[in-house]
Structure 1
Amino acid sequence: MQIFLNTYGTYLHIKDDMFEIRVPVKDSPPKVTLLAAHKVSSFVMATSAALSTDAVRLALKNNIDIIFTHANGHPMGRIWHSKLGSTTRIRKRQLEASLGKEAVNYTIKWISDKMTNQLEFIKDLKKHRPQMSDYLNDKITRIENLIVSVGNLKGEQVADFAETIRGLEGTAGRLFFETINHVMPEQYKFSGRSMRPAKDIFNAFLNYGYGILYTRVEKCLMIAGLDPYVGFLHRDDYNQKSMVFDFIEPYRTFVEIPIFRLFTAKKVNKSHVDEITNGVSLNKEGKELLVNALLDYLEGDNIRYRGRNQTRANAMQQEAHVFANELIEKDVEPDSIEL
């Protein structure tokens, strides 16, 4: 499991070869939790917490990464073991693929999958909102047309159509969030996407959720032996994890769906955010609400993936391995995933 340390003054150290987490409680003794290393996949340190060098050593020994994030949930850095997790052959092939037709095919697939997942989400909304069928049918038709346009793109390298596919993706995204806003309870409506900072409570939840997903995707890529920095569509700017931004696209609904459910169930209120300059930011209570819902969606429910029942988190990891194996031409099973 992934452990989030969100409380100011939390201390992570070792006791009896186990992780001990001490969380301060006002006017009471600290809350103490003991965790065996094999039960932990990563620690996410989002606020002013402390950890011991022994805790770092135990984490490294057990391939547990320690992630440090900004207040909005986006990763700042991580402590991770020095092993690549696979041979350098995968990363060499990833770089070669980025320069030619393979990158074209993967880019089209990932963006098409993202838009298809958005489309399926809207179709699901339609099942429960027949009074909005005309509005939703219009969005469905327009996104279907955009998916066809993406599938028809041609080029010998991604640069040949990069601006076009970004435009198509952006249009689909705008239609998708317009739809979410349209069906949202009145008190939660928002005016498009806003990031740094979020202008409203929905975008604050969304931004923090994406930050969690970024760390998950980066780890999936690293475990599979892939380079998070060598992307196909996103630019290779200085220190930009371009492949994380590429590979994450089909999985954004893994964040959007559980957050949407929190809002439509009216579990969110103004007490979950704090006012900041020019916007709002999730506070401790808001982060806890989101993290619990997101982890339950990623790790609690099973989906059908390659003929097996697996969590969404496991399916995402397996898809990273499939991608790596395809690059080095190892045998892989047919691509199939239900989101």
Structure 2
Amino acid sequence: MQLVLDTHGLQLTKKGGVFEVIGEKSKREISPAKLSSIAVTATVILHSDAVVLAIKNQIPILFFDRIGKVRARLWSPYFESLATLRRQQVRFAESVEGGNWMVDVFMLKAEGQVQSLRFLASKVAGQKPVLDSVIGLIKQQSRQFEKYREQMPEEMRNQMMGTEGAIARVYWQGLGAALPRQYAFNKRTRQPAEDVFNAALNYLYGMLYSVVEGGIFAAGLDPYLGILHVDEYRKPTLSYDLIEPFRPWIDQLLVLECLEKRLQTTFFTRNQHGLFLNKEGKAFIIPLFNNFLRSTRTYFDRESTVKNHIYFLAHLLAQRIRGTV
């Protein structure tokens, strides 16, 4: 598990042979044997004896900025366990089990897309029949993912991405048409965006990538070694894989802002390349995203913050890699 220090003023010290986390009103002890990493996301106090305990147990301490990007790491100069996990990750990425993991990831994404559309249908009068039809199509198409199980990633990569793309087209057409008129769109557009919804979504996804990458680092994995997405020079391709189940969470967040009409046209500037968030828009979107990360929800029968769920899924992947190769 990852120990996340995300409250201003927390202290991390050593008590006997365990870590002690001291808060304003509480204390708790954690065995080093239970930790894979320590993530620091707020201004906290790290006692040197706790740092030494982490180093002795090969537990990296990672420091994150406000949008979840890793800025620094403290770790042991001895990399045996980390190197072993990286070797296991390479084998996993080229194995049948790696392909099965990607099937699970896209099934989770499809479930999230269904939940986003159900949320939208519950909020917009008259859209439920149309959105129910879209939900039915997504469920039908997502069943195709199961036929890719027990295949090597290179054998099913193109077919799986084709299935995911077909689902995405149906999803975005349904979602875009059901939004209030000032936010409606016909298709997903990236760089550049052609409408305010996609411009805001692009920026939110960009921040989400940083958080996912941080979770991958915290789990001891290499974010540049993807499974489904092909390796690209200096691109964190595993982040491209692991982000997929969490995209619909961002979609639903932005849908709510549109339904409440809090997303303003003044947040965007158009130039010859397309539509982009301006300074006013970033001042709105960044706090929205940070509050989203701190919000709680139930996922895998665990109630925790969104950020902790992201880290937990990265941790589950690391466990799967250790246990299957």
Give yes or no for the alignment of 1:101 onto 2:96: yes
Q: CA deviation at 1:63?
A: 3.2
The residue type paired with residue 215 of structure 2 is: C
Distance 1:36 1:231, change over 3 A: closer
Aligned in 2, Cα 1:176/1:281: closer, same or farther, shift over 3 Å?
same
Aligned to 1:81: 73
Letter in 1 for 2:44: H
From 41, 44, 67, the counterpart of 1:38: 44
> Secondary structure of the equivalent of 1:250?
helix
How many Å apart are 1:164 and its aligned residue? 1.2
Measured after TM superposition, the shift of residue 262 of structure 1 is: 1.0
Deviation at 1:129, TM superposition (A): 4.1
Corresponding residue to 1:323 among 317, 322, 325: 317
Higher relative contact order (CA 8 A, sep 6+): 2
Are 2:152 and 1:153 equivalent residues in the alignment? no
* Overall identity of the aligned pairs, in %: 25
* CA distances 1:229-265 after superposition (whole Å, capped 9, x unpaired): 1111000121221100001100112221111111111
Distance (Å, rounded) in 1 between the aligned partners of 2:258 and 2:125: 20
Equivalent position SS for 2:304: strand
Q: Secondary structure at the match of 1:63?
A: strand
Equivalent AA in structure 2 for residue 107 of structure 1: M
Cα distance, 1:96 vs. partner?
Answer: 0.4
With over 3 angstroms needed to count, the CA separation of the structure-2 counterparts of 1:283 and 1:252, relative to structure 1, is: same
Aligned equivalents of 1:121, 1:244: Cα separation in 2: 22
User: What residue is the counterpart of 2:51 in the other structure?
Assistant: none
Checking the alignment, whether the CA contact within 8 Å between 1:254 and 1:298 is kept in structure 2 is no
Q: Is the 8 A contact 1:66 1:80 kept in 2?
A: no
Query: Offset at 1:286?
Result: 0.7
The answer as to 2:302 corresponding to 1:303 is no
Structure 1 residue aligned with 2:269 = 274
| Partner residue of 2:138 out of 140, 143, 165 | 143
What residue is the counterpart of 2:30 in the other structure? none
Distance 1:151 1:189 in 2: 33
Distance 2:298 2:128 in 1: 29
Contact between 1:254 and 1:297, CA under 8 Å: does it hold in 2?
no
- Using the size of structure 1 for normalisation, the TM-score is 0.73
Change (3 A) 1:156 1:187: closer
Q: CA deviation at 1:296?
A: 1.7
- CA distance 1:36–1:148, change in 2 (3 Å): closer
Contact 2:205/2:250 (CA < 8 Å) preserved in 1?
yes
2: distance between equivalents of 1:173 and 1:313?
Answer: 24
> How many residue pairs end up in the alignment?
270
Structure 1: runs of 5 or more not aligned: 3-34, 40-60, 68-72, 331-339
* CA gap 1:324/1:183 in 2 versus in 1, 3 angstroms: same
**Partner Cα distance (2:205, 2:111) in 1:** 19
Aligned pairs for 1:105-120 within 5 A: 105-120=100-115
Give unmatched runs, 5+ long, in structure 2. 1-5, 8-40, 46-59
The reply to whether residue 218 of structure 1 matches residue 213 of structure 2 is: yes
Q: Could you tell me whether the CA contact under 8 Å between 2:86 and 2:222 is conserved in 1?
A: yes
Asked whether the 8 Å contact 1:199–1:278 carries over to 2, the reply is no
**Does the 8 A contact of 1:155 with 1:161 survive in 2?**
no
TM-score for the superposition, normalised by structure 2: 0.76
Counterpart CA distance in 2 for 1:139 and 1:226 is 36
Name the CA distance, whole Å, in 2 between partners of 1:237 and 1:280. Answer: 27
Tell me how large the CA RMSD over aligned residues is. Answer: 2.8
Which letter maps to 2:73? H
In structure 2, distance between residues paired with 1:83 and 1:276? 45
The match for 1:228 is 223
Checking the alignment, whether the CA contact within 8 Å between 1:104 and 1:156 is kept in structure 2 is yes
- The alignment status of 1:204 with 2:203, answered yes or no, reads no
The match for 2:172 is 177
Contact 2:100–2:150 (Cα < 8 Å) also in 1: no
Could you tell me whether the CA contact under 8 Å between 1:259 and 1:293 is conserved in 2?
Answer: no
State the Cα distance separating 1:163 from its structure 2 match: 1.3
Considering fraction of residues, name the structure with more helix: 2
- Return the letter of the residue paired with 2:96: K
Letter in 2 for 1:233: L
Distance 1:78 1:219 in 2: 6
112 and 62 in structure 1: CA distance in 2 versus 1, 3 angstrom threshold: closer
Give matches, 1:240-319, under 5 Å. 240-299=235-294, 301-305=295-299, 307-319=301-313
